[in-house]
Each structure stands twice: as C-alpha cells, then as structure tokens.
Structure 1
Amino acid sequence: MLITIDHASRTSRAEQIAACVRRGLADGTIRKRERLPGARTLAATLDVNMHTVLRAYQQLNAEHLIELRPGRGAVVTADAPASQALLIEACRHIVRLSRAHGLTRPETLALLEQQFESFP
C-alpha cells in the first residue's frame, strides 16, 4: 500500500492521507480487513505529525471505511464497498469545485438533483 502526500498542496495533509486510502479501496490496492500502517509509523514515513494521521484515520472511521481498534490499529472494515470509497472521493471533489467557483450548498445540491432527474 502506497500512501503519499504533497507537502506543497493546499489540501490538508490529513485529507490527502484519507484520499489515498479511499483511492486504494476503490482501485483494489487496499483490501477489506487489511491493517493500515500504525499512526506513528506512517507519520514518520510521510514526515507529518502523528495527529495528522490520526485525523485522517478518524475521518475514514466516520465514513465507515475503517475501524479503529484499540491496541490493534486501523483496519479496513469487512463491509467497506469500493464503490462507497469512490463516491466519497467524487463527492469531495464536487464540493471542492463548488466552493472554488462560488456555488452555494443549495445551488450545488440542486445541480446534483437535476442530474439525478435527467440521467438515464
């Protein structure tokens, strides 16, 4: 499993870590029940603070993609569908684009609703 970050990116390092895990789940390079690197180990590898890694893992836990097990670390959930990870990444991309172009939340949701209605 390869997790990388761009230290020059405007995207938070925690979000970059979480995005790498989501993409790994979506493309199959990270499998169900796989243990993710320990927070200290990954932080040292990426040259980031351990709390940055923990924030990323907490976000993935909130998305039900991983489980945080005391003493055992972060493990991909058995029922984490690759499609869910892919859709979360796509939604986050839509939110970033919407904000970059000055769209409000209601405007963005209306555009999504419109696509649901018009897409075959």
Structure 2
Amino acid sequence: MLVTIDRASPLSLAEQIAASVRRNMADGTLRKGDRLPPARTLARTLDINMHTVLRGYQLLKDEKLIELRRGRGAVVTADAPSKALVIESCQQFVQLARSAGMSGPDIVQLVTDRLNGTA
C-alpha cells in the first residue's frame, strides 16, 4: 500500500492520508480484512505526527471503510472497492466545485438537480 502526501496541497494531511487509502481500496490494492500500517509506523515514514495519521484513519472509520480495533489496528471492512471510489470521487468533486467558486448550497443543488433529472 502506498500512502502519499503533498505538503503544498490545500487538503489537510489527514484527508490526504484517507484519500490515499481510498485510492488503494478502489484499485484493489487493499481488500476487506487487510490491515493498514500502524499509525506510529506510517507517521515515521511520512515524517508527520502520529495523531495526524489517526485523524486520517478516523475519517475512514466514519465512512465505514475501516474498523479501528484495539490491539489489531486499522482493518479494511469495506466489501466493495466501488464505495471507496465513490467517496474519493465525491471529495475531488467538492474540491473542484469549491475551487470554481461554488458555495455549499450551490454544490448541493447541482447534485440534487442531477439526481432528479432536472438539469
């Protein structure tokens, strides 16, 4: 599994870690039952604070892509890589829309219109 960060990115380091893991899930590098690197090890590898890694892992847990288990670490729970791909694509979409100057309500309306077939 490859986790990359870009210190010049406007995304937080925690979000970048979560995004890297999502991409690894989406491309099949990570599968259900696989363990993520221990936070301390990944933090050392990336030369960042361990709590930043834990925040990234917490984002993935909140998305129900991983479980954080005491003594076992972070374990992939998502059955379908498509869920990770959808979440990652959504993150990129929101970032693109915001960089284009769209507000939160404008983004939501755009998606709602597409879902309802009205635009």
With structure 2 as the length reference, what TM-score do the two structures score? 0.91
What is the deviation of 1:103? 1.4
Consecutive unaligned residues of structure 2, counting only runs of 5 or more, are none
Cα displacement (A) at 1:20 = 0.5
Deviation at 1:30, TM superposition (A): 0.8
Could you say what secondary structure the match of 1:8 adopts? coil
Query: How far apart, in 1, do the equivalents of 2:117 and 2:36 lie?
Result: 40
| Matched residue SS, 1:34 | coil
1:85 is matched with 84
TM-score with structure 1 setting the length: 0.90
Q: Contact 1:64 / 1:80 at 8 angstroms: preserved in 2?
A: no
- After superposition, the CA RMSD in angstroms is 1.5
Out of 59-68 and 100-109, give the one that drifted further.
100-109
Tell me the CA shift for residue 65 of structure 1.
0.2
- SS of 1:6's partner is coil
> Which SS does the other structure have where 2:116 is aligned?
helix
Report the Cα distance in structure 1 between the residues aligned to 2:96 and 2:43, rounded to whole angstroms. Answer: 29
Aligned residues: 118
Q: Which amino acid aligns with 1:14?
A: A
What are the residue-to-residue correspondences of 1:90-109 with 2, within 5 Å?
A: 90-109=89-108
Residue type at the aligned position of 2:95: R
Deviation by residue 1:3-61 (Cα, 9 ceiling, x = unmatched): 11122222211111100000011110111100000000000001110001000000000
By how many angstroms is 1:94 displaced?
A: 1.6
Q: Distance in 2 between matches of 1:81 and 1:98?
A: 27
Question: Does 2:31 correspond to 1:31?
Answer: yes
Instruction: Note the alpha carbon deviations across 1:44-88, whole angstroms, 9 max, x for none.
Output: 0011100010000000000000000011100001x4421111111
| Superposed structure 1 runs of 4+ greater than 6 Å apart | none
Unmatched 5+ stretches in structure 1: none
Percent identity of equivalent pairs: 58
Residue pair 2:22, 2:85 contacting (<8 A) in 1 also: yes
